[in-house]
Homo-oligomer: A and B are copies of this chain.
């Protein structure tokens, strides 16, 4: 007979076993927590505000915000009320709803460089559309992107030897914050660079994040003008967490196109491409469509999300909470004599331990933070929402302090 102890397998692990039978790899993409520490939340059962509960009912304060989309916390009443109102009329219809027009007008009013908007579902949709428009407008082919920069997942990335040659055609890389490397590429591919696709800031997975230097941003605009290349800001991840407009407005720079998704509708599925009048005519010639792109509910959600952000000084509050978190983390690490780097905007911070090439220490720390009821990721930046209160950040800092103490004790 076995002992009286119950050997209950966690529900999350049982779900993962079931998933592995009917989904290649069980879970795929960035939401796969099965490679994280044992006990990491593989499935989500419920979420409210800045908290979620995993399949086993374990509660976490959430620093991932569903990898960006949740800007005002789950179930924000103003957003949900707009959603319910639109859903009671029509979501996916034969044609757009009035919300389509209203959202485009709101984006044009809100984002300085935007004279027009188009909507899709994935960030990848609008990044792909943007690079296509750049090629169509200029009649040129090459798109420059920073080394290691992420701009969507289609075409999918295979193990390297299997990558289709055509998947990588017409991309050439430069070094972020290094204008000389950009100009070198422009000269090397003389007359054939259609555009420069650049993230609001560099947020490569598992690396220190890098904010753009103002002279880099302004220089990039100038180089694009000189070489007749289209400047595309990929604001899919950062949009509405740095400013109330395009992330590069703070530098006084207006891109030709900006790509948005994630946070713009507080978790409802939509992406947007915004452009200037100079890009309007070529955008008009494109035939592009998706089955659910005109659905009214995500558009109503986006209108409410943007209005809540603006009415409520959401950005100021996110920045204050981010400052509180980042300063607290740095003080704690110093106190324990642990070398860490906290990088990126305070509203999208990332912490890793120095001399931790494989991030093993960073992951052990994240696992200890999770033991304290806070979920953050050891290989990807985190996200602050307007739903995080001072008390929530205090709670997070208690968990992080305990986690630092465990790491310090082990080292």
Contact = CB atoms under 8 A, between A and B. Distances in A.
Contacts of A283: 24-25
A24 B280 contact: yes
Q: How many copies, total? A: 2
A101 B135 contact: no
Given A22-B117, A95-B27, A128-B154, A90 B45 contact: yes
Contacts of A90: 44-47, 52, 74
Given A15-B101, A23-B104, A116-B22, A157 B287 contact: yes
Interface stretch (A172-180, A262-270, A335-343, A345-353): A262-270
A405 interface: no
A166 interface: yes
Contacts of A7: none
B132 A289 contact: no
A106 to B, nearest CB: 9
Interface in A178-200: none
A interface residue count range (under 10 / 10 to 19 / 20 to 34 / 35 or more): 35 or more
B280 A292 contact: no
A391 interface: no
Contacts of A158: 132, 136, 285-286
Interface stretch (A62-70, A210-218, A226-234, A326-334): A62-70
B44 A117 contact: no
Contact of A292 (B121, B282, B289): B121
A67 B291 contact: yes
Contacts of A268: 91-92, 292
A325 to B, nearest CB: 18
A55 B169 contact: no
Interface in A127-159: 128-129, 132, 135-136, 139, 141, 153-159
B15 A45 contact: no
Count chain B CB atoms within 10 A of each CB in A236, A281, A286, A293 and give the residue with the most. Answer: A286
A135 to B, nearest CB: 5
A105 interface: yes
A290 B92 contact: no
A161 to B, nearest CB: 9
A375 interface: yes
Given A89-B46, A123-B290, A164 B98 contact: no
A170 B162 contact: no
Contact of A287 (B105, B125, B141, B156): B156
Contacts of A54: 95
A179 to B, nearest CB: 27
Interface string A220-245: 00000000000000001000000000
A84 to B, nearest CB: 10
Contacts of A19: 96, 100-101, 104
Instruction: Give 4 closest A-B pairs by Cβ, nearest first.
Output: A29-B289, A44-B93, A92-B267, A24-B283
Given A24-B281, A29-B289, A269-B295, 9 more contacts: A23-B101, A25-B284, A44-B94, A44-B296, A47-B90, A128-B156, A129-B154, A153-B290, A271-B291
28 contacts: A18-B101, A19-B100, A22-B116, A22-B117, A23-B100, A24-B286, A27-B100, A28-B287, A28-B289, A29-B288, A31-B289, A31-B294, A41-B94, A41-B95, A42-B95, A44-B93, A54-B95, A62-B94, A67-B291, A69-B92, A136-B159, A136-B162, A139-B162, A141-B164, A156-B286, A157-B288, A158-B285, A267-B295
